[in-house]
A and B are shown apart, each in its own frame.
Chain A
Amino acid sequence: MLVLRRRAGESFLIGDEIEVELLAVTAQGAKIGIRAPRETIVLRKELKITQEQNAHAANAASLEDLEQTIKKLRP
């Protein structure tokens, strides 16, 4: 992983069109601004993971699968 050191107000570029600026750093975390073309999707990684988990969870389960799972979960 490339690691950069930036202070508040400084930025860096990803490719020609995406600029990431470190706006502020506080004890609660860093505030980051992103300038990118409208079609670029910017997602918190946890959200992406949750979307994938939900899609998988929603696919789950015929009644038989559920019965198996319930049996597994009961002592």
Chain B
Amino acid sequence: MLSVETKYFGTLLCAEGSVFDFPQGLPAFEEEKTFVLIEAPEGAPLVFLQSLARASLCFVALPILVVDQNYRLAVAPEDLENLGLDTERQPELGSEVTVLALVSLHGELSPTANLMAPVVLHVKSRRGMQAIRRDSRYSHAYPVEAQPAPKDPASSNGQKAWSPEPKC
């Protein structure tokens, strides 16, 4: 277990399995090389990508299939290679890779998700990167509407929304 100082959840003990190396960082954050994936039931459907080195840096994200259940991956061969994945085919969403869309908040307007540049996490090698698509099939600012949240009793009974038991 790893003690991680987080932006939203105080200090958490995280399993090694939720720590991902980003050898290239993220665009505009190239110096941040390690992120922890945090899921908090109270925060669902949002998930959190917390920088290990910088507690104040935590991206809000959504599993890409929550944003678009028909999303089709198109990770470029050189990106697959960087992730340690088979370069001859697209990886299987869910089993081989966890794929997230980073979310931007816009006050009263709908939040938007970046479907053009999904964060791809290779579960086995625990390597991650933001794999910018070469095509223009998906928007970098796709408005996200209400989603059916996973069954979560705490969300429906009016309990205060932010006493989470985050998992990471």
Residues of A within 8 A of B (CB): 44, 46-47, 49-58, 60-61, 63, 65-67, 69-75
Contact = CB atoms under 8 A, between A and B. Distances in A.
Contacts of B46: 66, 69-70, 73
Interface stretch (B79-87, B90-98, B120-128, B141-149): B141-149
B111 interface: yes
B4 interface: no
A73 B149 contact: yes
Contacts of B102: 53-54, 57
Nearest to A43: B27
Contact of A72 (B26, B111, B132): B111
A50 to B, nearest CB: 4
Contacts, number: 98
Interface of B: 8, 26-29, 42-46, 57, 59-60, 62, 102-105, 110-111, 114, 116-117, 130, 132-134, 140-141, 144-149, 155, 161-162
Nearest to A62: B8
A50 B140 contact: yes
A67 B27 contact: no
A72 B29 contact: no
B8 A63 contact: yes
A69 B146 contact: no
Contact of A50 (B42, B110, B117): B117
